[in-house]
Structure 1
Amino acid sequence: MIGLVWVVVGGGGLLAIAAIALAGMHLPRFLAVTRPLAADILVVEGWIPDQAVKGVISEVLQRRYRKIVVIGPPLWKGFYLSQYKTYAELTAATLISLGISPDLVQAVPCPAVESFRTYTAACHLYRWLQQVTPAIKAINLYTYDCHARRSWLVFKRVCAPQIKVGIIAAPALNYNPRRWWQTSVGCRQVATEAIAYGHTRFFNWRA
């Protein structure tokens, strides 16, 4: 009997470990979600890496947007040396230098905050949209890798029910999502965003 119980419990433990391992392998794909909508406006989180910004070109060629709105807070580094003082302005200028028409790009800087940065950006964007394009019904949010699901959750809640939000995640550039646990940068990015998403989803979505 004891041996049978050990086999059952041990088997269950192995199944649990296998399930956790399988979930961990697919964690980046869950977090880096892409579900775009038919939308006239593409919103770009301005803090994303330059290589991810280049992906906006492909997105614009694939779907016809009436406007590209770049949001972002003041620069975290180089503020006093750069002619651009916010990530919104810096990334908007980058998109123009990459060939996107200046008439298509709009920078919408966000205020500096120590916490609630994604929530603050979403609220600032929503107010801007209501003032400038009150008839807009849907937007697509373009962000980077595993940050996508958390940003999507926050922006959807801020903009609901007036504006629907689609999401596009630029792929990871500095680690292999299928082997994310093999590098320190992969572990850091995936684990940090997984914890942050769990906190946002179950405790405080404004954080």
Structure 2
Amino acid sequence: MKFRYKPAIARLKIRLIQRKEQWTLTVAGWIVTLMSIIVLFTIAIANIYPFLSVNQPIAADVLVVEGWMPDYAIEDAMDEFKTGDYRHLIATGTPLSKGYYLAEYKNFAQLTAATLIALGFNPNQLIVVPTPYVKKDRTYSSAVALREWLSNSDLNIKSLNLFSLGPHTRRSWLIFKGVLAPEYKVGAIAANPQEYNAKTWWQYSEGVRTAIGEAIAFIYARFFSFA
């Protein structure tokens, strides 16, 4: 019997594909999955805005107003001050991002205070706490500036309500509480934006941009930043 030598390379079997058994969705499975996605999306649409635009005021000594807000929100803050049992209103804010070299007031805290006085607010109840210029984390820097002012104040302030605008309120409240607690109790009040209808925010480009942007920013602040 003759033995024929077969080179090792000839015995190699290179397989580029192979047959595998796998599970896949049936038509009914795809329908159920699609319906589940629609239901979850609807729930998210219905709840994300009320979650971000939080209103949880407390009995507070002062009302803290974020100075970057538009004039109509400043007017709403003034109305809140009149209806609440506040001793003082504190305006916070960073330097102006536009018109700095032309404006009489160089930061939003000063500009908001001047606006309130023009609206008839009592200057003796008004406190300005400006924030130094920062490239990022402006809300956090405002909270830190407020904490430093409170720690040096002789007004014996123990509680405050933070007045912000719409979906931005949840993130601001998170950051201010993180900076000020436990020495100070912090509540939250959200002004209603006038650029879109808060009840149907998804029908407006401004509402979609604001809600989605603030949701992402809140997640970042909650899990990767200051909380």
Report the secondary structure of 2:135's partner residue.
Answer: coil
- Structure 1 unaligned spans of 5+: none
Are 1:189 and 2:189 matched, yes or no? no
> Pick from 100, 108, 119: which aligns with 1:79?
100
- Structure 2 unaligned spans of 5+: 1-22
Of residues 123-132 and 20-29 in structure 1, the stretch that sits farther from structure 2 once superposed is 20-29
Report the secondary structure of 1:26's partner residue.
Answer: helix
Is contact 1:139–1:166 with CA below 8 Å preserved after alignment?
yes
> Pick from 147, 164, 174: which aligns with 2:185?
164
Are 1:99 and 2:114 matched, yes or no? no
Name the amino acid aligned to 1:205: F
Name the amino acid aligned to 1:146: P
> Which one has a bigger Cα radius of gyration?
2
Show the counterpart of 1:41.
Answer: 62
Show the counterpart of 1:24.
Answer: 45
Are 1:59 and 2:74 matched, yes or no? no
Q: Choose between structure 1 and 2 for higher RCO, CA contacts under 8 A separated by at least 6 residues.
A: 1
Displacement of 1:186 in angstroms is 1.1
Are 1:175 and 2:192 matched, yes or no? no
Displacement of 1:165 in angstroms is 0.4
Are 1:204 and 2:225 matched, yes or no? yes
Structure 2 distance, partners of 1:110, 1:92, is 14
Displacement of 1:86 in angstroms is 0.8
Displacement of 1:134 in angstroms is 6.9
Structure 2 distance, partners of 1:44, 1:124, is 13
Report the secondary structure of 1:167's partner residue.
Answer: strand
Structure 1 distance, partners of 2:141, 2:215, is 20
Structure 2 distance, partners of 1:132, 1:84, is 24
How many equivalent pairs are there?
Answer: 205
Displacement of 1:183 in angstroms is 1.8
Q: CA separation of 1:105/1:134 partners in 2, compared to 1, >3 Å: closer, same or farther?
A: closer
- TM normalised by structure 1 equals 0.93
Deviations 1:21-73 (A, max 9, x none): 22123322111101111011111000001011110121012112111010001
Identity of aligned residues (%): 43
Is contact 1:26–1:178 with CA below 8 Å preserved after alignment?
no
Q: CA separation of 1:96/1:10 partners in 2, compared to 1, >3 Å: closer, same or farther?
A: same
Where has structure 1 moved over 6 Å in runs of 4 or more?
none
- TM normalised by structure 2 equals 0.85
